[in-house]
Chain A
Amino acid sequence: QQQVKQSPQSLIVQKGGISIINCAYENTAFDYFPWYQQFPGKGPALLIAIRPDVSEKKEGRFTISFNKSAKQFSLHIMDSQPGDSATYFCAAVYSSASKIIFGSGTRLSIRP
């Protein structure tokens, strides 16, 4: 019940294309869903986050789509650029218990 399943494990997208990464969770107690971006040799950095009372959140080229009934959420990167090449982690947070569960990560490569 504490798992967050992330797919795909790796993704190759052409420059200018749309990158889509999916995550699914089981426990409805999660109440905050952040996405993190990690470059080699660096720690993860918060990219964008959403609460379950919202179905979509957009920040620039990054959009989270959230489906509460299906317990799924996804990250869409529009007009993908080579600089977006990184590993992306979704996460689910129990804010009251101060616990965060990460997905297994997706290695994204944008081909020029």
Chain B
Amino acid sequence: KAGVTQTPRYLIKTRGQQVTLSCSPISGHRSVSWYQQTPGQGLQFLFEYFSETQRNKGNFPGRFSGRQFSNSRSEMNVSTLELGDSALYLCASSPGAGGYNEQFFGPGTRLTVL
């Protein structure tokens, strides 16, 4: 089985712009979660989608949003980018929802905001 894929792998944007990141889960997986990874804050949970519904959300401002499509692919959008949004954005998929399902992470999208 192919692993979790994320596109693009690298992205450079300027402050004020918006960005959309894409995640394709492992075939058959219906849950997709997004995380932000930075040296200072570590790994922080953004949100989780299951069957096209947002099941859980972390403590991030409303500029961060996401959605999931019927084929389980997911997108994450960040509007009005700030310098502090520079981070590695990781997507993880699992067969079902909930913490006991092993999450399989993609390689991440490295976002740099100038």
Contacts and interface: CB of A to CB of B under 8 A. Distances in A.
Interface in B92-114: 92, 97-100, 102-108
B55 A43 contact: no
Nearest to B96: A98
B103 to A, nearest CB: 7
Nearest to B40: A104
Interface string A79-112: 0000000000100011111111111110000000
B42 A105 contact: yes
A31 B100 CA distance: 9
B112 to A, nearest CB: 15
A89 B35 CA distance: 14
A60 interface: no
A41 B99 contact: no
A95 B100 CA distance: 6
A62 interface: no
A98 B97 contact: yes
A43 B90 contact: yes
Contacts of B45: 99-102
B102 to A, nearest CB: 5
Given A32-B99, A105-B42, A98 B105 contact: no
Interface string A27-63: 0000110001000011111100000000000000000
Interface of A: 31-32, 36, 41-46, 89, 93-105
- The 3 A-B pairs of least Cβ separation, nearest first, read A43-B105, A93-B99, A95-B99
